[in-house]
Chains A and B, each alone.
Chain A
Amino acid sequence: KAGVTQTPRYLIKTRGQQVTLSCSPISGHRSVSWYQQTPGQGLQFLFEYFSETQRNKGNFPGRFSGRQFSNSRSEMNVSTLELGDSALYLCASRLAIQETQYFGPGTRLLVL
């Protein structure tokens, strides 16, 4: 089975712009979670989608949003980018709630 894929792998944006990241889960997985990884804050949970519904949310401002499509693919959007949004954004999928999460390679976002 193919693993979790994320596109793009690298991205450079400037402050004030918005960005959309994409995640395709492992085939058959219905849950997709997003995490932000930075050197200062470590790995932080953003949100989780299951069957197109947001089921869980971390402590991030409203500039961070997401959605999930009927084929379980998910997108994450960050509006009005700030320098501090520079990070590795990781997506993880799992078959169902309380199953193991499998991570993709991440999208590295640099905000200038």
Chain B
Amino acid sequence: AQSVTQPDIHITVSEGASLELRCNYSYGATPYLFWYVQSPGQGLQLLLKYFSGDTLVQGIKGFEAEFKRSQSSFNLRKPSVHWSDAAEYFCAVGAQSNFGNEKLTFGTGTRLTIIP
């Protein structure tokens, strides 16, 4: 069965500093990979996704992620964070289930705090 690990529960970054959120996945084949962001009390917003092709994926709000098959990783990066980036970030893998269809498995999330 597929799984996703986000090793950092909480990260604090100064506004304007760079950011990297880690994500490692476990899946036997090439996965579909996603990063979602959730603001307090809100649903999930898709930041970016990787299905195939170029391993460096650009998303919304200036985020990017790089798929590294050899490391089973899909880390999220942003060169300069803004106070509005404070939220919870979820990495997810979409993989074939026993029912033959793809379902999402989420990591436990990383809460991002931005300090002035």
User: Are A and B co-members of a single complex?
Assistant: yes
A48 to B46, CA, bound (A): 19
Question: A18 at interface (Cβ–Cβ under 8 A)?
Answer: no
Give the interface residue-count category, chain A. Answer: 20 to 34
Measured CB to CB, the nearest residue on chain A to B44 is A103
A107 to chain B, nearest CB (A): 10
For A4, list chain B residues within 8 Å (CB).
Answer: 43
Q: How large is the interface on B (under 10, 10 to 19, 20 to 34, 35 or more residues)?
A: 20 to 34
Question: Across the A-B interface, how many residue pairs have beta carbons closer than 8 Å?
Answer: 51
Instruction: Find out whether the CB atom of A45 lies under 8 angstroms from the CB atom of B103.
Output: yes
Bound CA–CA A4/B90 (angstroms):
19
Report the nearest B residue to A47, measured CB to CB.
Answer: B103
Against A, the Cβ 8 Å flags (1 = close, 0 = not) of B25-56 are 00000001010100001111110010000000
CB contacts under 8 Å to A, within B98-116, are: 99, 101-109
A106 to B94, CA, bound (A): 21
**Minimum CB distance partner of A90 in chain B:** B43
A66 contacts B by Cβ under 8 Å: no
B83 to chain A, nearest CB (A): 22
CB distance from B12 to the nearest CB of A (A): 20
B80 proximal to A (CB < 8 A): no
- Which residues on B are within 8 Å of A, measured CB to CB? 32, 34, 36, 41-46, 49, 90, 94, 97, 99, 101-109
Extra contacts, 9 of them, besides A103-B36, A104-B43 (Cβ < 8 A), are: A42-B108, A45-B104, A48-B101, A55-B101, A56-B101, A58-B103, A103-B44, A103-B46, A108-B41
